[in-house]
Amino acid sequence: QSALTQPASVSGSPGQSITISCTGTSSDVGSYNLVSWYQQHPGKAPKLMIYEGSKRPSGVSNRFSGSKSGNTASLTISGLQAEDEADYYCCSYAGSSTMFGGGTQLTVL
Amino acid sequence: EVQLVESGGGLVQPGGSLRLSCAASGFTVSSNYMSWVRQAPGKGLEWVSVIYSGGSTYYADSVKGRFTISRHNSKNTLYLQMNSLRAEDTAVYYCARVGYYDSSGAFDIWGQGTMVTVSS
């Protein structure tokens, strides 16, 4: 049960777009179209932003989008805003277990 | 309102036990897959355990044999019994609902978390 691989940090200026990658294996990300993404602000519980790789829950801005290619999933945030500054985690269903990425700290410059 | 409220965290000595509770409102715990996820101080999220609507349970290797997930249907509450606690179990523990459909893998509702500190 190894964690999925994410970059430790990314940054961008307001209005720009950024992409966070999440690399797994053929046993998790590559086998299931069940990658989800979570946003977490300091001291708060995580919030679901994307599920099933590319679907947005009701209420989540369409500036957030997800995709997958092979064993790598990606989260793209367009039109960066100050409130997007947070930690982001990917997550993959893997049969009877679930695994998270190590997290990516997004800084809005 | 759909929500989850955890309780039961605290300070415990290494080797000790603790039981966490997660009270649900606005939906039925037994009709959903429910999980525990933890976050050590300054670290990332770690999946701990899941209980399926049918009652099957699964655990991360790091807690297998020491933790037990369960639920009380009439109380609409999820539990995590933690035994043989170690310093590395120190974390905020969140309960979370798997939403949309059983095997979606998407945690759509989270509690506020309860802190567990294992220290002598």
- Optimal mutation site among A98, A99, A105, interface B, most CBs of chain B within 10 A: A98
pLDDT tier at A27, thresholds 50, 70, 90: confident
Is the pLDDT score of A101 beyond 70? yes
* DSSP for residue A83: G
User: What is the average pLDDT score of chain A?
Assistant: 95
Compute the half-sphere exposure of residue A7: CA atoms within 13 Å on the CB side of its CA: 13
Hey, what amino acid is at A102?
G
Task: Report which of A29, A11, A16, A13 is spatially closest to residue A90, judged by C-alpha positions.
Answer: A29
pLDDT the model gives residue B39: 98
Q: Say how many C-beta atoms besides its own lie within 10 A of residue B66's C-beta.
A: 15
- Quote the CA–CA distance of B37 and B19 in Å, as a whole number: 15
Hey, what amino acid is at B39?
Q
- Quote the CA–CA distance of B107 and A99 in Å, as a whole number: 12
Q: Which residue has the tokens 């699964």?
A: B58
Number of helices (H) and strands (E) in chain A: give both, helices first: 0, 9
Residues on chain A touching B49 (C-beta within 8 angstroms): none
Q: Say how many C-beta atoms besides its own lie within 10 A of residue A18's C-beta.
A: 19
Name the 3-class secondary structure at A102. Answer: coil
Is the pLDDT score of A1 beyond 70? no
Q: Say how many C-beta atoms besides its own lie within 10 A of residue A14's C-beta.
A: 11
Residues on chain B touching A101 (C-beta within 8 angstroms): 44
Q: Which of A25-29, A87-91, B4-8, B85-89 has the lowest mean pLDDT?
A: A25-29
Is some CB atom of chain B closer than 8 A to the CB atom of A60? Answer: no
Rounded mean pLDDT of B51-77? 97
Q: Give me B91's structure tokens.
A: 């974390």
User: What is the average pLDDT score of chain B?
Assistant: 96
| Percent with pLDDT over 90 in chain B | 94
Residues 6-35 in B contacting A (C-alpha not used; CB under 8 Å): 35
Residues on chain B touching A92 (C-beta within 8 angstroms): 105
Which residue of chain A has the CA closest to B108? Answer: A48
Rounded mean pLDDT of A52-65? 96
Residues 75-94 in B contacting A (C-alpha not used; CB under 8 Å): 94
Which residue among A36, A45, A47 sits closest to B105, beta carbon to beta carbon?
Answer: A36
